[in-house]
Amino acid sequence: MVTEEEGRVRGGTGGDELPSELGGGRGTTAGPATRTAAKGRLASALTYGGLAVAGVVAAFPFVWMLLTSFMTRGETLRYVYLPATLEWRNYVRAWSEANFALYFSNSLMIAVVQVGGTLLFSLMAAYPLARMQFRGRETIFLIILATLMVPETATMVPNFLTVSWLHSHSAIPWLNNWPALTVPFMASAFSIFLLRQFMRGLPGELWEAARIDGAGHVRFLFQIALPLCRAPLLTVGMFTFIGSWNALGWPLLVTSRPTWRPISVALLRFVEEAGAETQLQMAGAVIATVPVLLLYALIQKEFTAGISVSGLKG
């Protein structure tokens, strides 16, 4: 007769113990899960740490520029890190000595005209490439994309020859005037691509409903598609504004008088004239940078949404 204790010994498991596939499995699955979670936390920490370091490196020149703009000339020569007092007079001197009021207004007018023209022409080029069916549509789009690989410096000479010819054969002067600074850049392949990608994602039911109501392509574009394109339009406008505001080589090529020169050219001339006055140079750089930073701060949500949404559309 086998006792209960001998039965437990022979069977290898007690009456209250769990089977190996139920109880023993916990230890084998908990280990890999814990290690995977630890690896995920480590990867996240390394990622955010790397981004933080990259952010500090990217922000350092701007912080140094801002701090230097408030220093005295003696402090810039001694390489101090923080100004003893905030010298706001540096901004007053930079604004008056460089005549930034004229160049600031020039840049603003040039940027507004260029942004408006780019939005109009890009929208009207992107819509047929996205919503209309015609022969050669994809070929035209590929040709437009191919122009993105051409560097801007390679187009300067052809553009200058074209502008010079228009200057000689039109009633409106182009050189040393706003047309030369704005018109050549109103056709933007990147802007057309961005808007086209967004419009391809618009539901086809919108066009069908508009067509039933008697709307044509022009009405559909400006009354239905245009309000839906707010985010990508703001993104295109932001990129165009930054490009126009920072342009230097082309304005130097087509302007020889300060009448229509932008603030980027004025800053270059001021840096050359200021010489060892580093604090004035940095004050001028801050003045030239602030409008772009303010614009980005105002539309950063729409800017990010325009990039992400347009990039997801096929």
pLDDT digits (tens, 9 = 90+) for 80-89: 888 888 989 9
Q: What is the pLDDT of residue 14?
A: 47
Q: What is the pLDDT of residue 42?
A: 84
For residues 126 and 275, the model is more confident at 126
Output phi, psi for 185, to 5 deg.
Answer: -110, 10
CA angle 125, 128, 130 (to 5 degrees): 100
Output phi, psi for 214, to 5 deg.
Answer: 90, 15
pTM, full prediction: 0.79
For residues 19 and 37, the model is more confident at 37
Q: What is the pLDDT of residue 21?
A: 45
Tell me if 229 sits within 8 A of 195, measured CB to CB: yes
Q: What is the pLDDT of residue 307?
A: 64
Task: Judge whether residue 43 has pLDDT over 80.
Answer: yes
Closest CA to 122 of 293, 215, 204, 239: 239
Residue 30 pLDDT level (bands cut at 50, 70, 90): low
Tell me if 313 sits within 8 A of 200, measured CB to CB: yes
Q: Among the residues of 70-177, which ranges form H helices?
A: 73-78, 89-97, 100-131, 137-146, 152-169
Write down all domains in the chain, each with its CATH number in brackets.
Answer: 95-312 (1.10.3720.10)
Question: How far is the C-alpha of 163 from the C-alpha of 156, rounded, in Å?
Answer: 10
Q: pLDDT, tens digit, for every residue of 50-61?
A: 999 999 999 899
Task: Judge whether residue 25 has pLDDT over 50.
Answer: no
Q: What is the pLDDT of residue 37?
A: 79
Residue 29 pLDDT level (bands cut at 50, 70, 90): low
For residues 244 and 40, the model is more confident at 244
Q: pLDDT, tens digit, for every residue of 198-243?
A: 888 888 888 888 888 888 888 888 888 888 888 889 989 999 999 9
Residue 310 pLDDT level (bands cut at 50, 70, 90): low
Question: How far is the C-alpha of 273 from the C-alpha of 277, rounded, in Å?
Answer: 9
Tokens 């069916």 belong to which residue?
133
Q: What is the CA radius of gyration of the chain?
A: 31
CA separation, residue 115 to residues 108, 186, 271, 283 (Å): 10, 8, 28, 27
Question: How far is the C-alpha of 212 from the C-alpha of 200, rounded, in Å?
Answer: 20
Residues 6+ apart with CB under 8 A from 225: 127, 131, 199, 202, 206
Question: How far is the C-alpha of 285 from the C-alpha of 37, rounded, in Å?
Answer: 47
Q: What is the pLDDT of residue 41?
A: 84
Tell me if 299 sits within 8 A of 238, measured CB to CB: yes
Q: What is the pLDDT of residue 312?
A: 46
What is the Cα 210 distance to its own chain's centre?
33
By CB neighbour count within 10 A (0-12 exposed, 13-18 middle, 19+ buried), where does 299 fall? middle
- How confident is the model over 124-138, as a mean pLDDT? 91
Closest CA to 233 of 270, 181, 194: 194
CA separation, residue 257 to residues 49, 188, 206, 260, 261 (Å): 49, 27, 51, 7, 7
Q: What is the pLDDT of residue 306?
A: 63
Q: pLDDT, tens digit, for every residue of 150-170?
A: 998 899 999 999 999 999 998
Q: pLDDT, tens digit, for every residue of 261-287?
A: 999 999 998 888 877 788 899 999 999
Q: pLDDT, tens digit, for every residue of 79-123?
A: 888 888 898 999 999 999 888 999 999 999 999 999 999 999 999
